[in-house]
Structure 1
Amino acid sequence: MVRYADPGAVEWVESGGGPLIAIPEVVLPFWAGANGDDLSSDYDRACDVDGFFGLLPVGDTWALVLGDEPASTSYLPEHGTFVRWCAAASEDELLSGVPAALATAVWEPEVEWNVPGPVVLFDAAWPGPASERTDHLKVALEPGRYAVRAAYVEPGPETWVGLVQLRRLTR
């Protein structure tokens, strides 16, 4: 995990250039990353996601792929949101713009994601079992159904942020 300040407000996960993926812990062993046959790997499937996010089957559940660009990403539990650092002069500048970004976001259509419990966010190129040896972030989600939506927001003249918000569904 990367920290951009000392001590740093949050932990950030970076990729080597491809998408990040949030995989439920229970199915991490089933994610092969860039390892695979000559035709297609799990990483290739993740790279095929078009847009800000998408869901991919992994084992008997689904993983959340954060697409669009390989931005440094953290999870802010107080907002239920993956925050993607697209542009900002500092971590403080980016994080202070999140409330305004959430309030003014024009959201893409949402999808439903059934989550069996905690997920691990890491570079989709890595195999699931190796995720602890690279940048990763454990996100303590409660089991259940979540609405997932995304937006790209410019809360300041030189601050741009990607948002992927999770909202727990109760119905």
Structure 2
Amino acid sequence: MARYADPGALEWVESGGGPLIAVPETVLPFWAGADSEELDTDYDRACEVDGYVGLLPVGDSAALVFGDEPASTSFLPDHATFVRWSAANSEAELLAGVPAALETAVWGSEVRWRVPGPVLLFDSAWPGQAAGRTEHLRVPLAAGTYMVQAAYVQPGPETWVGLVRLTRLAS
């Protein structure tokens, strides 16, 4: 995983150029990535997602696709938000702008994502069974339904950040 600061800083996941994806651990074997005999691979389906986020069926669940651009992405559990590094001079500068970005964000349309538990964030080109051997980030989500909203915010003159906020809905 990429690290942009001293040890103990956030771990960031990057892609080889395509979208990142968060797949529930329980259905990882059903994500084939770009490794498929089908004409339309899972990776191709992920690349077709229009906008900042979208959902794709995987097994008996769904994966969250991070569209728009292949920005380095991490998760801030205190804010229940995926942070996408679009532009900043340093990790510290980017993270310092997150609270203001969350307050001023103009959230796009929402999707509802039902997860059975923890998810793995990784490059959508990889098959799910290989995700543990590649650059990935495990996000320990509790089982349930989440409202997912995305925004692209400029919290500083040279700082741009993508935000994907998860709000757990009551059962």
Task: Give me the TM-score of the superposition, normalised by structure 1.
Answer: 0.98
Partner of 2:35: 35
Partner of 1:86: 86
Aligned partner of residue 49 in structure 2, secondary structure? coil
- 2: distance between equivalents of 1:69 and 1:98? 19
Partner of 1:111: 111
Aligned partner of residue 113 in structure 1, secondary structure? strand
Q: How does 1:19-98 map to 2 (within 5 A)?
A: 19-98=19-98
Q: Which runs of 5+ in 2 are unaligned?
A: none
Q: Which amino acid aligns with 1:70?
A: P
- Identity across matched positions, percent: 73
Task: Give me the TM-score of the superposition, normalised by structure 2.
Answer: 0.98
Q: Which amino acid aligns with 1:97?
A: G
Partner of 2:145: 145
1:34-59, Cα deviation, whole Å (9 max, x unpaired) = 01125110000000000000000000
How much is the aligned-residue C-alpha RMSD, in angstroms?
Answer: 0.8
Instruction: Could you list the structure 1 runs, at least 4 aligned residues long, displaced by more than 3 angstroms after superposition.
Output: none
CA shift for structure 1 position 133:
1.4
Aligned partner of residue 26 in structure 1, secondary structure? helix
Aligned partner of residue 5 in structure 1, secondary structure? coil
- 1: distance between equivalents of 2:132 and 2:25? 11
Count of matched residue positions in the alignment of Structure 1 and Structure 2:
171
Partner of 2:132: 132
Q: Which runs of 5+ in 1 are unaligned?
A: none
- 2: distance between equivalents of 1:53 and 1:113? 11
